[in-house]
A and B are shown apart, each in its own frame.
Chain A
Amino acid sequence: ETVLTQSPGTLSLSPGERATLSCRASQSVSSYLAWYRQKPGQAPRLLIYGASSRATGIPDRFSGSGSGTDFTLTITRLEPEDSAVFYCQQYGRSPFTFGPGTKVDIQ
């Protein structure tokens, strides 16, 4: 099983700032890495797939990078609506595991 580790656990930032979230895989997943945002009380929403491709309707404030075992989600110009938990997920091989999440607090 591919274990995903996310850091930091929590990120506290102000509107307009830049957030950098990390996801590390226990073995290579090539570029089969997706990122999701889950706002409180809502279902997750796909942000990034293929490590760096934005999903439909996702603004260019969100960007993904990395391959192999190390991946980064960068969010520029943070907005209040970005207060959420962000999860990475690998889909290179079953089981298609999720990371534990990074909580982003916008204060």
Chain B
Amino acid sequence: EVQVLESGGGLVQPGGSLRLSCAASGFTFSSYAMTWVRQAPGEGLEWVSAISGSGGTTYYADSVKGRFTITRDNSKNTLHLQMNSLRAEDTAVYYCAKGAQEWSYYFDYWGQGTPVTVSS
């Protein structure tokens, strides 16, 4: 059974940093792209970042480029999102999701999300 489980969310002050993790199981992790998608309270889905199966190619939304870094550890079946210089507008539930193929950036399995609150 495919599972993705996010962790690492919490309360952080503006300007602070947070590292999200996503533990994956039930599939050959290195063969699939992975992504982070966020949802601010009462708002729609916002794509944040994605990474290819090998980790060699990364993509970012303009709103997080230069502040967030996506990485993956294929030996540990884990995806990370390092978030620096956090702003109030980064407050959201962050979802980890599995790409349907190594180079496909639509997402067939989603975690339940981890909440991030940026506030003083």
Contact = CB atoms under 8 A, between A and B. Distances in A.
Interface of A: 1, 32, 34, 36, 38, 43-46, 49, 55-56, 85, 87, 89, 91, 94-101
Given A94-B105, A95-B47, A98-B45, 18 more contacts: A32-B106, A43-B113, A44-B95, A44-B97, A46-B106, A49-B108, A56-B108, A85-B44, A87-B44, A89-B47, A91-B106, A94-B60, A95-B60, A96-B47, A96-B50, A96-B105, A98-B44, A100-B44
Contacts of A43: 95, 110-113
Interface majority SS on B: helix, strand, loop or mixed? Answer: strand
Looking at A44, A49, A91, A101, the one whose CB has the most chain B CB atoms below 10 A away is A91
B45 A44 contact: yes
A16 B61 CA distance: 39
A34 B106 contact: yes
B45 A101 contact: yes
B100 interface: yes
Interface of B: 35, 37, 44-47, 50, 59-62, 95, 97, 100, 104-108, 110-113
24 contacts: A38-B45, A43-B95, A43-B113, A44-B107, A46-B106, A46-B107, A49-B100, A49-B108, A55-B108, A85-B44, A87-B44, A87-B45, A89-B47, A91-B104, A94-B50, A94-B59, A94-B60, A95-B59, A95-B62, A96-B106, A97-B47, A98-B37, A98-B46, A101-B44
A59 B27 CA distance: 24
A87 to B, nearest CB: 5
B92 to A, nearest CB: 13
Nearest to B113: A43
Contacts of B50: 94, 96
Nearest to B110: A43
Contacts of B110: 43-45
